[in-house]
Copies of this chain bind each other. A is one copy, B any other.
C-alpha cells in the first residue's frame, strides 16, 4: 500500500525517474528500457514482468484493471497467470511505476501516468479517463492529522449520461423500490 512518493516533492523519488520513459529516439531499445526500469526499482526482469511492462508502458497513458491486462497479455500470446498480473500490478505500484486510482467500483484501476493529474470516472460504463490539461487545482489543503502524512491528493470527477438514461435503466432493472 505504498504509492509512497509520487508527490510531496522531496522524498525518495525512486530511481525510475532517472530513466526517461516514452522515448521517441529509436536508438534506445524499448525492451532494454523496460529491463532497466525494472532493475532500477529492484525487480528482476522476468519474462512475465517484461511482457506486462511492455504492454503497460509502450502505449502511453493507460488505465487498466488486472483482468484487462491479463486478457491483453493472453491475446499477445504471453502465457502468464492471473495471480502474476495481480502481483505485478501491486509491485509496480509500490515501486512507483504505476498509481492506483481511487474509483470505488468493483475493480481496481491502475494508471501508467504517475505524475500529478486527475480523473473522470464514467459511472455508466465504469471507465477512467484523464482530465485533460492541468488547469484543475486544489487549494486550501488541510494539514494532515497528527502523526500522519499526505500520501496523495486525488480528484475524481464522476460523470453520468446527460439524459440520465442509464440511471433510469438501472432503476428499472433489478429488485428496486
Chain B: minimal CB distance from A37 (Å): 13
At the interface, yes or no: A60 with Cβ under 8 Å from chain B? no
Q: How far is the CA of A159 from the CA of B120 in the complex (A)?
A: 22
User: Which residue in B42, B131, B161 is a CB contact (below 8 Å) of A177?
Assistant: B42
- Interface pair B161/A148, CB less than 8 Å apart: yes
In the bound complex, residues from chain B placing their C-beta under 8 Å from that of A91 are 176-177
Contact of A162 among B102, B136, B148, B152 (CB under 8 A): B148
Please name the residue on chain B nearest to A121 by beta carbon: B102
Asked whether B162 lies within 8 Å of A149 as measured between CB atoms, the reply is: yes
How many monomers of this chain does the complex have? 2
Q: Among the listed B94, B145, B158, B164, which residue makes an inter-chain contact with A150, where contact means beta carbons less than 8 Å apart?
A: B158
The answer to whether the Cβ of A87 comes within 8 Å of any Cβ in the partner chain is yes
Does any Cβ of B come within 8 Å of A43's Cβ?
yes
Does A131 contact B137, Cβ atoms closer than 8 Å?
no
Q: How far is the CA of A148 from the CA of B161 in the complex (A)?
A: 4
Expressed in whole angstroms, the Cα–Cα distance for A167 and B2 within the complex equals: 6
A138 interfacial by beta-carbon distance below 8 Å: yes
Using A94-B170, A151-B158 as known contacts, list a sample of 8 further A-B pairs with CB atoms less than 8 Å apart, ordered by residue number in A. A2-B164, A102-B158, A129-B145, A144-B157, A147-B162, A149-B159, A153-B158, A155-B156
Instruction: List the interface of chain A (C-beta within 8 A of B).
Output: 1-4, 42-44, 87, 91, 94, 100-105, 108-109, 120-124, 129, 131-133, 135-142, 144-145, 147-164, 167, 170-171, 175-177
